[in-house]
Every structure is written in structure tokens, then in C-alpha cells.
Structure 1
Amino acid sequence: MKQGLLAVGVVLGTVGALMISACQARQEMLSAPVTGYNHTSAAINRFSVNGAGGPNLGAHEGGGSEVCCGVLPRRWHSGMKAIVEWQKDPDPYAYSEWKEKPFSDAWSGRMKEHKQGYSLHRAVVDIPKYEEKVCALQVHFLPCDQVRVSTTCYTPSHPDYPDRAYFQMKESATCPAL
């Protein structure tokens, strides 16, 4: 009987130790607000990064509002990716020229037709190396439906901001075939 209890104790102790070690191996996660910068003439009606939603962005706008929260592992590792999904309105100012009274039935009909021009996009992009501090998941929407993700703690006005070049990009009338 004592040997049976001893064997049960050894098994329970081993299982307990394995469970504790599995819990310790689990990656600790960080939450980070999601913000975006739109470097295009289209509107970004909505977007998400790994399922965490970001604010809508007018043409050539961004950075002002953040939505909580995206999640990243505390420790960066090589090969980390982000899935960015977004809806784009290629003609965000069209309704300002409509003659119909805003929100009337006729205007709503035009808007329904206008929304047919919206397009959905998805990109899988690298998450650049970061230390154990992530201040925000910043998404940069670039010309030709390209996106980049950043985790910097700097804002665009800071001299060490790593994504400064995106603000200098010009849109082309045509995009290269991908």
C-alpha cells in the first residue's frame, strides 16, 4: 500500500513540475495601442493589426488617435509577422460634390453606390526588432497598397523617429505589378 501511495505521489509531483515548467515557458505578452499613418490620397475606413482594430484615417492623416490594444510577446524574436487588414475608399471626397441633401434617401443611394468602390486589402509584414518596451503598434499605409509596422516609442516629430522617410513618399499615378 505504501509503495502504491509513493508511486502516486511521484506521478503527481512529476505532473505538477511539468505543469509549472509549462506555465513558465509561456510567453509573457505586452499590450500596445494601435495607431496609423496614412501616406496616401485614399481614406482608410478601418484597419486591424493581428485582429486589433485601429482608427479610421483620412487621406494623408494619422497619428492623432489610438485604439487599445494590440498584443505582442515581451521578447521580440526573428520572423515575427503582423497581419494587417484594411478597407480603402479611393475617392474619400466624392460626397462633398454631390448635389443631394446629406443623409436624404437620394444621398444614401449615392453613398451605397460609392461604397461599391471600396476595396479590402490584407498584407503580412515583418515586425521590426524591439526591446522589452513597446509604446504602440504603428501602421504606415504607403502608396501602392504597401504597409509597414513599427513599434517605436518616438513620435514623427522626434529626431530619432525611424520611419521619417515614409512622410516624404510621393504617390505615383501607376503602381508596379506585384
Structure 2
Amino acid sequence: MVGAPITGYNHTSAEIIRFSINGAGGPRIPPNAGGGAEVCCGVLPVQWNLGLRAIIEWDKDPNPYESVERDQYGQITKEIVARHSAGYSHHKTTVEIPKYAKELCALQVHFLPCDQVRVSTTCYTPSNPKYPDRAYFDVKESVACSVL
């Protein structure tokens, strides 16, 4: 087994409160952001094999910019936080891990509209012309998600 840093990219208007890939935690990701923080480490086999999958779990805040009330002293109380966080949702899915060659550089988790998730194992970052997942940054969020 080999460890790889975990990076997340959020291509939605919701905030990813937390996420994990095969139990290894990832950082909070604001809406339409990501890539800034890496955490260690996701674990995968040294050699990729057909059918390799990852379990992704995440919690999201669909209204991250909602104004949060403050009490008479200007504080955000537990009750106010509880009211806001009641709108959070929990998600879990299994995704395929794409083939990686000699080295596993990072596990990049892409959160796409309609609660779709993709994982990448590329050694490149989005600023590199060889980055294979550039199309994810062009995905547009629709008002409604179709049911498959």
C-alpha cells in the first residue's frame, strides 16, 4: 500500500463541510473553490488493478452564504448554528479510481453538480497544460438535477 495526499475541488455553489475518501479525511472546501489545502493521506495499492474503487462521503451546506443571526450580544449561539446546520446533507457514493502508472502523486476528489463525484490520480495541478481533468472546471450547475 502507498499513501497519497488528498486534495478536493468543489465545482458547486454549496460548501463541502467535510469529506473523506476510503475513510481518510479531506479539508473543508468553499463553493467553487479547492486545491489550496492538502491533507495526508489516502491509501491505495502500490499497483493499480481493474475495478479499484473508493468510497467518498461528504457533508454539504447548500446555503453557505445564508445570513446567520446573532444574539443580542453579537454572538452566534449553539441554537443558531443548529438551525443553520439542519439544512446540511450527508452523501456517500462509490467511484472508480482511474488507472495510475508508476507513481501515485495525489488523490484529487472533484465534487460536481447534482452530487456527482470523480476521483483523479494525476501528478499535475490544474495550472499545468497536461492536467487531464480541466473539463470539470467548465461544468455548469443547473437549476434541477435529473434522476437517473
TM-score tier after normalising by the smaller chain length: over 0.9
2:143 aligned with 1:173? yes
Higher gyration radius (CA): 1
Say which structure, 1 or 2, has more relative contact order (CA 8 Å, 6+ apart): 2
Deviation (angstroms), 1:111 = 1.7
Mapping 1:1-178, distance limit 5 Å: 29-95=1-67, 98=69, 100=71, 102-105=74-77, 108-178=78-148
Deviation (angstroms), 1:109 = 2.0
Give the alignment's Cα RMSD to 1 decimal.
Answer: 1.3
Contiguous gaps of at least 5 residues in structure 2: none
Deviation beyond 4 Å, 4+ runs, structure 1: 99-102
The TM-score with structure 2 as length reference comes to 0.94
Question: Comparing both structures, which one devotes a greater share of its residues to helix?
Answer: 1
Distance 1:104 1:36, change over 3 A: closer
Question: Comparing both structures, which one devotes a greater share of its residues to strand?
Answer: 2
Measured in 2, the distance between the counterparts of 1:75 and 1:103 equals 52
Deviation (angstroms), 1:99 = 5.5
The TM-score with structure 1 as length reference comes to 0.79
Percent of paired sites with the same residue: 61
Contiguous gaps of at least 5 residues in structure 1: 1-28
Measured in 1, the distance between the counterparts of 2:13 and 2:79 equals 24
> Aligned residue pairs: how many?
147
